[in-house]
Amino acid sequence: MAIQLLPEELVTRIAAGEVVERPASVVKEMVENAIDAGARSIRVDCVEGGRRVIRVADDGSGIPAEEVELAFAHHATSKLRSADDLSQIVTLGFRGEALASIAAVSVVTCVTRHRDEESGALLRIDNGKIVAREPIGRPPGTTMTVEHLFAKVPARLKFLKSIQTERAHIDGLLTRYALAYPHIQFTLTHDGRRSFQSLGNGNLRDVLLEVYGATAVEKMIPIGTEANEPDRPTQAIGSISVRGYAALPEYDHANRSKIVLFVNGRPVQDAKLTYAVIQAYHTLLMTGRYPLAVILIELPPADVDVNVHPAKAEVRFRDPDAVFSAVQRAVRRALLAALPVPEPPSVLVDQRLSLNTALETGAAAGNREIDRAGLGPRQSPLSGAETWERVGIARHIPSPVTSASEATANLPFHSIHPQLPALRILGQLAATYIIAEGPEGLYLIDQHAAHERVLYERLWTARELGQVAAQHLLDPVAVDVPAESARLLEAELEVLQELGFQIEPFGGNTFLVRTVPAVMAQDDIAAALREIIADLEMGDAPLQRDLEARVLRRICKRMSIKAGQVLAYPEMAALVRDLEACESPRTCPHGRPTMIQIGLSQLEREFGRTA
């Protein structure tokens, strides 16, 4: 093909794609414009996840009637005058591209009245062409209605996800801005139903309550200036100020998605700063667990370049290390001040501690009741049925698990294809690994991974037979979930029911848990549900079977014996027997190995016994 200039219309659409990726991008640009216009109240109404209609109404300054067309022109902005201004940006917008881009790929109706003018104006643009222009009355402010987004851009339309996913993006976005601007009242509705509202009273804690719920906020501590009296000088580090809220380590999360960062009022994605927050929790969180935090960073506009990303989601700092350590120190300081002084660990009291941790933290090995080699099974402080129950291997005591386990036992593959030889237990190592002997040599079995596998196969079989045993909670547990997760949870209630969770919406973002899978009877239900929601949130609407597997894996992970737990000989024997009966005993449900095998010939080689 010969080189040709693209038609103007196509150029615009291609450029628009950089700004407008999905309905949430429209909401973002419109909300930023409203904030820049000094709005005190911003209302967002969406239909079908914003694919059909997005309406953003504000009570800001409004647009002068004679500038309305101009506002929709490319590179038209009231926020930037010269190149110098570009290094001193104090508004959220500055490129003058958003309205033009949005109008190029949708039908936009703008109704606005400037606060110094008598009447307002209506302008409608259909995929780049003005189709209506008339005077109209309204109170000062602006209402932008965007309809049929991407209807004429099939390539883009194809990439939109389900209504539910688009909705979740909008929810996440709006709650973020509500956190960054507590003095603005944000209201969000989907299909006529209110999904979120902030008070707009200027109090960040009140917004947190709306977004994350009371349970979470109880566990959150103020950071930086939020921690000080309002009249004390700000706790600025250099000229960087860091404030916000962070959750105590006990309220952790399965991924990084709950670490929310703002730079000068702009939500940003920044892997390094996210890491700074995680670093602040160093040794306070288990590996693979992440904190929940809302961090607001302010620094002189000249020290941050906001013009590096099409959607303005990333920024560049003049001194990234200074910002990194300011964030890390502010969060760390607040955490250390809030946490109780740690007790010297005792493996006997707290069985979650591994031998290594106990030794590392200075406990003299000699006065501990641990056999360093771990050989020779120690008696657990628990006894009899208690011990069996704890391991969840309940052969001879009536337990909810029994039904599932019996169902499993009836399946043919166990007797026909034993996947593991019979093993003889030799002992436990570091309260984490079971040492066993088999015909082919030595086996080191990860007790946690092994138990996960056993539970998983039982639950999965029970699920296949439609027989997951559920346990009624004596007192139903009310769980608050973040606004952005509530909808998702609602959509998956049926799937969860199949797995033994009977959960009902209880108004707002609260849910009532009535039953749980029987294996979870002793679990912290609220914490478990939060983890399950986090699992559901991963990725885009997977198949139902996939979701179920995720939930089951989560249950197994929570309910299985932990590393660091001292096991009695009968417990180990029962666990290994159950593992022998598994279909895939050599990996845990997450795909990690449950055991390492050292063959006799390898031992001979290592000892130099072979000639």
The footprint of ligand ADP (CB under 6 A) covers 29, 33-34, 37, 58, 60-63, 71, 76-79, 93-100, 142
**Residue 93 contacts Mg ion per CB under 5 A:** yes
Question: By the 8 A CB rule, do 481 and 487 touch?
Answer: no
Contacts of 606 (CB under 8 A, 6+ apart): none
Contacts of 172 (CB under 8 A, 6+ apart): 24, 484
**Residue 33 contacts Mg ion per CB under 5 A:** yes
Which lies closer to ligand ADP via its Cβ, residue 120 or residue 482? 120
| Shortest separation between residue 189's beta carbon and ligand ADP, angstroms | 18
* 3-state secondary structure at position 294: strand
Instruction: Give me the amino acid identity at 465.
Output: L
Which lies closer to Mg ion via its Cβ, residue 101 or residue 235? 101
3-state secondary structure 21-35: CCHHHHHHHHHHHHH
Exposed e or buried b for every residue in 426-452, given b needs 16+ CB within 10 A?
bbbbbbbbbbbebeeebbbbbbbbbbb
What are the angstrom distances between the C-alpha of 571 and each of 354, 389, 418, 519, 551? 18, 10, 21, 17, 26
Which of Mg ion, ligand ADP, none has residue 276 at its interface (CB below 5 to 8 Å by kind)?
A: none
| Shortest separation between residue 311's beta carbon and ligand ADP, angstroms | 12
Question: By the 8 A CB rule, do 281 and 245 touch?
Answer: no
Which lies closer to ligand ADP via its Cβ, residue 26 or residue 358? 26
Which lies closer to Mg ion via its Cβ, residue 98 or residue 391? 98
What are the angstrom distances between the C-alpha of 449 and each of 309, 517, 556, 568? 43, 20, 9, 18
Which lies closer to ligand ADP via its Cβ, residue 126 or residue 580? 126
Residue 114 CA, distance from chain mean position: 40
Distance (Å, rounded) from C-alpha 453 to C-alpha 583? 9
Stretch that binds Mg ion, among 95-103, 130-138, 425-433, 583-591 (CB under 5 A): 95-103
| Shortest separation between residue 186's beta carbon and ligand ADP, angstroms | 14
Which lies closer to Mg ion via its Cβ, residue 98 or residue 246? 98
Q: At what angle do helices 447-464 and 400-409 cross, to 10 degrees?
A: 80
Distance (Å, rounded) from C-alpha 367 to C-alpha 224? 42
- The residue at minimum Cβ distance from ligand ADP is 93
Find where tokens 């986090």 sit: 534
Site for Mg ion in 429-458 (CB under 5 A): none
Structure-block tokens of residue 590 = 């997450």
**Residue 142 contacts Mg ion per CB under 5 A:** no
Which of ligand ADP, Mg ion, none has residue 519 at its interface (CB below 5 to 8 Å by kind)?
A: none
**Residue 125 contacts Mg ion per CB under 5 A:** no
Question: By the 8 A CB rule, do 124 and 86 touch?
Answer: no
Which of Mg ion, ligand ADP, none has residue 142 at its interface (CB below 5 to 8 Å by kind)?
A: ligand ADP
Which of Mg ion, ligand ADP, none has residue 267 at its interface (CB below 5 to 8 Å by kind)?
A: none
| Shortest separation between residue 351's beta carbon and ligand ADP, angstroms | 58
Which lies closer to ligand ADP via its Cβ, residue 95 or residue 332? 95
Distance (Å, rounded) from C-alpha 327 to C-alpha 237? 9
Which lies closer to Mg ion via its Cβ, residue 17 or residue 93? 93
Stretch that binds Mg ion, among 33-41, 103-111, 117-125, 494-502 (CB under 5 A): 33-41
| Shortest separation between residue 207's beta carbon and Mg ion, angstroms | 23
Which of ligand ADP, Mg ion, none has residue 428 at its interface (CB below 5 to 8 Å by kind)?
A: none
| Shortest separation between residue 211's beta carbon and ligand ADP, angstroms | 23
Which of Mg ion, ligand ADP, none has residue 34 at its interface (CB below 5 to 8 Å by kind)?
A: ligand ADP
Distance (Å, rounded) from C-alpha 284 to C-alpha 611? 51
**Residue 565 contacts Mg ion per CB under 5 A:** no
**Residue 112 contacts Mg ion per CB under 5 A:** no
Which lies closer to ligand ADP via its Cβ, residue 43 or residue 258? 43
**Residue 98 contacts Mg ion per CB under 5 A:** yes
Question: By the 8 A CB rule, do 168 and 23 touch?
Answer: no
| Shortest separation between residue 114's beta carbon and ligand ADP, angstroms | 8
Structure-block tokens of residue 316 = 């560049």
| Shortest separation between residue 93's beta carbon and ligand ADP, angstroms | 2
What are the angstrom distances between the C-alpha of 339 and each of 65, 185, 358, 568? 57, 33, 20, 34
**Residue 185 contacts Mg ion per CB under 5 A:** no
| Shortest separation between residue 353's beta carbon and ligand ADP, angstroms | 54
Which of Mg ion, ligand ADP, none has residue 392 at its interface (CB below 5 to 8 Å by kind)?
A: none
| Shortest separation between residue 147's beta carbon and ligand ADP, angstroms | 17
Long-range residue pairs from 168-171, CB within 8 A, at least 24 positions apart, any chain:
168/484, 168/487, 168/488, 168/537, 169/22, 169/23, 169/24, 170/23, 170/24, 170/27, 170/44, 170/46, 170/49, 170/50, 171/195, 171/196, 171/483, 171/484, 171/487
Structure-block tokens of residue 178 = 């509500």
* 3-state secondary structure at position 9: helix
Which lies closer to ligand ADP via its Cβ, residue 113 or residue 167? 113
Task: For the sheet with 41-47, list strands across it.
Answer: 129-136, 120-126, 107-113, 141-147, 53-58, 41-47, 185-190, 193-197
**Residue 60 contacts Mg ion per CB under 5 A:** no
* 3-state secondary structure at position 332: helix
3-state helix, strand, coil in the chain (%, to 5): 40, 20, 40
Which lies closer to ligand ADP via its Cβ, residue 30 or residue 259? 30
Distance (Å, rounded) from C-alpha 406 to C-alpha 387? 20
| Shortest separation between residue 206's beta carbon and ligand ADP, angstroms | 25
| Shortest separation between residue 544's beta carbon and ligand ADP, angstroms | 41
Which of Mg ion, ligand ADP, none has residue 123 at its interface (CB below 5 to 8 Å by kind)?
A: none
Which lies closer to Mg ion via its Cβ, residue 93 or residue 564? 93
**Residue 61 contacts Mg ion per CB under 5 A:** no
| Shortest separation between residue 230's beta carbon and Mg ion, angstroms | 32
Which lies closer to ligand ADP via its Cβ, residue 67 or residue 206? 67
The binding site for Mg ion (CB under 5 A) comprises 33, 93, 98
